[in-house]
Amino acid sequence: MSEPIIVSLLDADFYKFTMGQFVLKRFPNVPVRYEFKNRTKRVLLGKFVSEEDLRKELDAVRDLRFRAEELEFLRRIETNGKRLFSEDYLLFLKDLELPPYDLKHNGETIELSFSGSWREAIYWETLALSIANELYYRSAMKKMTAFEKDAIFAEGTVRLAEKIRLLKENPEIVFSDFGTRRRFSRLWHDYAVTSLAAELPKTQFIGTSNVYLAMKHGLKPVGTMAHELFMAAAAISGDGDEQIRQSHNDVLKTWREEYGEDLSIALTDTFGSEFFFNDMTEEQARNWKGLRQDSGSPTQFGEKAIQFYREKGVDFRQKTIVFSDGLDINTILMLYRQFNGRVKCVFGWGTNLTNDLGLGALSLVVKVVEANGRGTVKLSDNPAKATGKPEDVHKYKRIFGYAAGEYKECKY
């Protein structure tokens, strides 16, 4: 392979940049640590991905710099009728070199982490995930015959065509590509996004989370915030229960101040959506454009959200719910039928959109595990997605009144 997997630092999720600017401004000097984790235990990733290949690709990322035209693309992005990214932030990006990685490869498992200043280390997440995925699939296909490889891509194309057919049959379904981190490969991702953009109107395929592909194909870059923002902010806030609990709403407040209406889609499950709905004020319910659902039952979440808005006296038909947890076309159709006309539905379609070629997907994540020397915690509405040291998780569950993703202690 002559060309590296990552050829542009924009080949990452848009939320890395919206969060990146936020972090640069609000948390400029916080040391953090991110860890790579393979949740798919049955696959010993180190048997597929060699240390040499992985180092080569990660090193290639560290050699990359933002190019003038890439910064110019960011410069031209507008939200709320004005520039989204400040010149200070673009200057920072211009000189950015990603911090070193720490890799231990024992032939079976891969220990990979990124330590550094939050403002710099934040960009590694989706880049590293795209690399690990692509190296895995290259390895999985290495022993295939030419025809077997053809058949894989053909299967992917047929599945993509079936998705497009169903989307054309349901033109009111609105979605964007969220599949950068778990894509089969950069080229396949590009092919899928190109095909979706060519076949569907922009009112239906509204954009992509991948900034590089957004630039390349004239699409809207889509995204707001990730769990890490709440996780790190909580760890940074101190050790006290009240500080930790309060940190979540502080993030919402400052984010809304920073980015206004356009980027006010709140991620709801960092410490469980039960807490989220209890914590969000009526004013926030009114001011925030909508909510993102990323774990637990999407149907239950949607109904709870509608009930939440109703009790706050907010017209939920004007609110957006972004569903982004493990979607496939059937789930999308089901959620669309359930919620269309009641709330504005948007689907953030990830793995199954960019990695559905019949080979099975890995569940790889890069999570912030430490901020300011304290361990971070994510609870989520799916206990399997919880992260953090057991004692920290226990503590956070107590602080956030977490009941394992169930809503029984939640008034909504």
Closest CA to 380 of 403, 349, 351: 403
Q: How far apart are CA 397 and CA 408, in angstroms?
A: 15
Tell me whether residue 3 or residue 147 sits nearer to its own copies (CB atom): 147
Nearest approach, Cβ of residue 153 and its own copies (Å): 7
Instruction: Kindly state whether residue 204 participates in binding its own copies, applying the rule CB under 8 A.
Output: no
Which region among 8-16, 79-87, 158-166, 213-221 touches its own copies (by CB under 8 A)?
A: 158-166
33: which 2 tokens?
């640590």
Evaluate whether 302 touches 343 at the Cβ level (below 8 Å). yes
Nearest approach, Cβ of residue 178 and its own copies (Å): 21
State the binding string over 130-149 for its own copies (x if CB under 8 A, else -): ---------------xxxx-
Place of tokens 């206990």: 383
Nearest approach, Cβ of residue 360 and its own copies (Å): 17
Looking only at residues 81 through 120 of this chain, which bind its own copies when binding is defined by CB under 8 A? none
The torsion of the CA quartet 91, 231, 239, 32, rounded to 10 degrees, works out to -50
203: which 2 tokens?
């009112």
Nearest approach, Cβ of residue 196 and its own copies (Å): 9
Instruction: Kindly state whether residue 262 participates in binding its own copies, applying the rule CB under 8 A.
Output: no
Nearest approach, Cβ of residue 202 and its own copies (Å): 16
Find the DSSP H helices in 238-389: 241-259, 273-279, 282-287, 298-311, 329-339, 351-354
Number of residues this chain uses to bind its own copies (CB under 8 A): 18
Closest CA to 199 of 188, 191, 209: 191
Tell me whether residue 157 or residue 246 sits nearer to its own copies (CB atom): 157
Tell me whether residue 146 or residue 384 sits nearer to its own copies (CB atom): 146
Looking only at residues 181 through 200 of this chain, which bind its own copies when binding is defined by CB under 8 A? 195, 198-199
Looking only at residues 305 through 334 of this chain, which bind its own copies when binding is defined by CB under 8 A? none
CB atoms within 10 A of CB 357: 22
Instruction: Kindly state whether residue 151 participates in binding its own copies, applying the rule CB under 8 A.
Output: yes
Q: How far apart are CA 263 and CA 256, in angstroms?
A: 8
Tell me whether residue 7 or residue 198 sits nearer to its own copies (CB atom): 198
How far lies 253's CA from each of 147, 231, 259, 363, in Å? 55, 15, 10, 32
Find the DSSP H helices in 320-388: 329-339, 351-354
Nearest approach, Cβ of residue 187 and its own copies (Å): 14
Tell me whether residue 202 or residue 253 sits nearer to its own copies (CB atom): 202
Nearest approach, Cβ of residue 146 and its own copies (Å): 7
- Cα–Cα–Cα angle for 34, 64, 86, rounded to 5 degrees: 75
The residue from 1, 91, 154, 334 that contacts its own copies (CB under 8 A) is 154
How far lies 259's CA from each of 18, 200, 210, 409, in Å? 9, 29, 19, 32
Residue 320, helix vs strand vs coil = strand
The residue from 164, 213, 235, 236 that contacts its own copies (CB under 8 A) is 164
Tell me whether residue 147 or residue 384 sits nearer to its own copies (CB atom): 147
Nearest approach, Cβ of residue 162 and its own copies (Å): 9
The residue from 72, 102, 111, 150 that contacts its own copies (CB under 8 A) is 150
Q: How far apart are CA 296 and CA 328, in angstroms?
A: 15
Tell me whether residue 35 or residue 199 sits nearer to its own copies (CB atom): 199
Residue 197, helix vs strand vs coil = helix
Evaluate whether 222 touches 174 at the Cβ level (below 8 Å). no
Nearest approach, Cβ of residue 295 and its own copies (Å): 33
Nearest approach, Cβ of residue 141 and its own copies (Å): 14
Evaluate whether 369 touches 352 at the Cβ level (below 8 Å). no
Residues that bind its own copies (CB under 8 A): 145-148, 150-151, 153-158, 160-161, 164, 195, 198-199
